């Protein structure tokens, strides 16, 4: 009898222990699972936050590219049109990029979460700050704080449990355009978008009237072609931007008879490398003898040149019709002993797009070129401290230019993120 009572007592104690251990195990399991869920949620938020930032940066840069247009070269640029294009481009960029496998779900609207303005110096800190303005804007600011919640099951559960929104992710990004240009420098796999082409800037002798100063700056050139930025095509018609006719050396002519020169950037003016440079731009290898960069700080840069265009080079220029590229301006050219080549004193950078290529019977080539506007990250700014991508290990390039008279270039801009 006593033995039965002892067994019953032992069984009762075991059942009681199981009754205590089961809820404890459940609590421990809940704590462990909650910790794992929070860790997963933190990792998910970090990854999603990076994707949101990258997505918004892409939108800001896309908007910035639209602010730089040939429209800026017209007598009265339509900045409302440029900002409208920028808004459309920014929203398209957001739609093309995903965050956590889905679209970010934000619609950018001018004046709300898409702001246009300029970077101006702060009198207190001396640093530049964003000032919202629609007057000739050169900066874009995008705010995505409070964006729609992304599909994260942990965040959904925590949101329902705590009445908060831990799954919401946002960013504030700024992109700025800068046209204080000192020169160009290609990257390892990023060539300078430039033609090996120099255009006569001025002619004190009066021999040439087809100079950049007269035809473009003083707007004496004909306006017979137009470029459609949507279709990327050239057609006949006026668009408010004059053209200049570039003419190579005629048969039995002198080097000074031409108002354009092919430049020698490591090509020795041989047709094959010149054609490659026309199509693809200038690489680090091309600028090897110039220490990898071309600087224009007020001193003419003498470059080996030729006024003759071979058939392959003519074809290459014709293939590039409608594409905007950097070109060079020269003040004078000196013929060599052979008379078919020489040295051009280049002084500045401009940008233009080829509208047409014509070939005459006297073996001259005429290139009708219209000035254009472009952005490239291969340019060197005169104020590198404002450019986060600048190489600060090199001497301050501002010292080579007059700091009281910053050099602005209305044809070439650098677009970079400022926040």
Give the pLDDT confidence of 124-169 residue by residue, as tens digits. Answer: 887 888 999 999 999 999 987 644 444 455 454 444 443 444 445 5
Question: Which residues in 4-40 are b (16+ Cβ under 10 Å) and which e?
Answer: eeeeeeeeeeeeeeeeeeeeeeeeeeeeeeeeeeeee
- Residue 8 pLDDT grade (very low, low, confident, very high; cuts 50, 70, 90): low
Q: What is the percent of the chain where pLDDT is above 90?
A: 56
* Geometric angle at alpha carbon 106, from 105 and 108, rounded to 5°: 155
- Residue 13 pLDDT grade (very low, low, confident, very high; cuts 50, 70, 90): low
What per-residue confidence (pLDDT) applies to 147?
46
What per-residue confidence (pLDDT) applies to 36?
65
Best-predicted range by mean pLDDT among 18-32, 158-172, 341-355? 341-355
Does the pLDDT at position 45 exceed 90?
Answer: no
Does the pLDDT at position 404 exceed 80?
Answer: no
Helix (H, G, I), strand (E, B) or coil at 315: helix
Mean predicted lDDT score pLDDT of the chain: 82
- Residue 356 pLDDT grade (very low, low, confident, very high; cuts 50, 70, 90): very high
Helix (H, G, I), strand (E, B) or coil at 6: helix
Tell me the C-alpha distance between 176 and 267, whole Å.
Answer: 35
pLDDT per residue as tens digits for the range 183-230 = 999 999 999 999 999 999 999 888 889 999 999 999 999 999 999 988
- Residue 72 pLDDT grade (very low, low, confident, very high; cuts 50, 70, 90): very high
pLDDT per residue as tens digits for the range 282-306 = 999 999 999 999 999 888 999 999 9
pLDDT per residue as tens digits for the range 242-290 = 999 999 988 778 898 999 999 999 999 999 999 999 999 999 999 999 9
Tell me the pTM.
0.79
Question: Which residues in 45-80 are b (16+ Cβ under 10 Å) and which e?
Answer: beebeebbbebbbbbbbbbbbbbbbbbbbeeeeebe
What per-residue confidence (pLDDT) applies to 204?
82
What per-residue confidence (pLDDT) applies to 161?
40
What per-residue confidence (pLDDT) applies to 212?
97
Q: What are phi and psi of 72, to 5 degrees?
A: -65, -20
Q: Is the dihedral of CA 305, 308, 312, 315 positive or negative?
A: positive
Neighbour tally for 240: CB within 10 Å: 14
Mean pLDDT value of segment 50-65: 84
Mean pLDDT value of segment 67-84: 94
Q: What is the percent of the chain where pLDDT is above 70?
A: 74
Does the pLDDT at position 373 exceed 50?
Answer: yes
Does the pLDDT at position 398 exceed 90?
Answer: no
Does the pLDDT at position 51 exceed 80?
Answer: no
Mean pLDDT value of segment 225-240: 93
What per-residue confidence (pLDDT) applies to 126?
77
* Geometric angle at alpha carbon 367, from 362 and 369, rounded to 5°: 160
Tell me the C-alpha distance between 28 and 23, whole Å.
Answer: 9
Give, rounded to a whole angstrom, the gap between the first and last alpha carbons of the chain.
85
Instruction: Decide which of 96 and 116 is more confident.
Output: 116
Tell me the C-alpha distance between 255 and 83, whole Å.
Answer: 45
What per-residue confidence (pLDDT) applies to 87?
95
Tell me the C-alpha distance between 190 and 192, whole Å.
Answer: 7
pLDDT per residue as tens digits for the range 97-106 = 765 555 666 7
Neighbour tally for 332: CB within 10 Å: 17
């Amino acid at each position: 009898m006593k033995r039965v009572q002892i067994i019953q007592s032992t069984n009762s104690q075991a059942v009681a222990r199981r009754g205590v251990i089961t809820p404890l195990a459940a609590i421990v399991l809940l704590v462990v699972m909650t910790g794992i869920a929070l860790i997963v949620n933190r990792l998910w938020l970090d990854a999603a936050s990076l994707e949101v930032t990258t997505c918004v940066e892409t939108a800001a840069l896309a908007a910035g590219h639209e602010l730089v247009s040939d429209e800026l070269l017209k007598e009265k640029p339509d900045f409302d049109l440029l900002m409208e294009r920028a808004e459309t481009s920014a929203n398209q960029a957001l739609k093309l990029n995903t965050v956590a496998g889905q679209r970010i779900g934000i619609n950018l609207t001018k004046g709300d979460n898409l702001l246009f303005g300029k970077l101006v110096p702060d009198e207190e800190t001396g640093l530049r700050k964003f000032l919202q303005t629609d007057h000739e804007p050169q900066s874009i600011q995008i705010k995505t704080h409070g964006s729609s919640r992304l599909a994260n099951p942990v965040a959904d559960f925590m949101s329902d449990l705590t009445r908060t929104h831990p799954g919401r992710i946002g960013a504030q990004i700024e992109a700025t355009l800068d046209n204080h240009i000192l020169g160009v420098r290609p990257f390892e796999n990023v060539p300078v978008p430039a033609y090996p082409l120099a255009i006569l800037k001025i002619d004190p002798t009066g021999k040439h009237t087809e100079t950049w100063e007269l035809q473009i700056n003083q707007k004496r050139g004909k306006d017979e072609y137009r470029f459609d930025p949507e279709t990327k095509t050239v057609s006949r018609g006026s668009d408010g931007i004059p053209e200049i006719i570039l003419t190579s050396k005629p048969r039995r002519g002198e080097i000074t008879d031409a108002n354009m020169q092919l430049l020698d950037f490591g090509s020795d003016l041989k047709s094959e490398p010149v054609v490659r440079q026309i199509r693809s731009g200038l690489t680090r290898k091309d600028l090897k003898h110039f220490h990898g960069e071309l600087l224009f700080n007020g001193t003419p840069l003498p470059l080996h040149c030729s006024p003759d265009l071979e058939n392959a080079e003519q074809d290459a220029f014709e293939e590039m019709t409608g594409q905007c590229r950097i070109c060079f301006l020269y003040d004078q050219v000196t013929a060599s002993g052979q008379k078919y080549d020489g040295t051009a004193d280049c002084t500045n950078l401009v940008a233009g797009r080829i509208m047409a290529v014509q070939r005459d019977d006297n073996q001259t080539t005429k290139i009708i070129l219209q000035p254009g506007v472009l952005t490239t990250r291969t340019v060197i700014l005169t104020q590198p401290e404002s450019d986060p991508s600048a190489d600060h290990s090199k001497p301050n390039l501002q010292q080579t230019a007059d700091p009281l008279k910053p050099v602005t270039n209305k044809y070439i801009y650098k677009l970079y993120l400022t926040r």
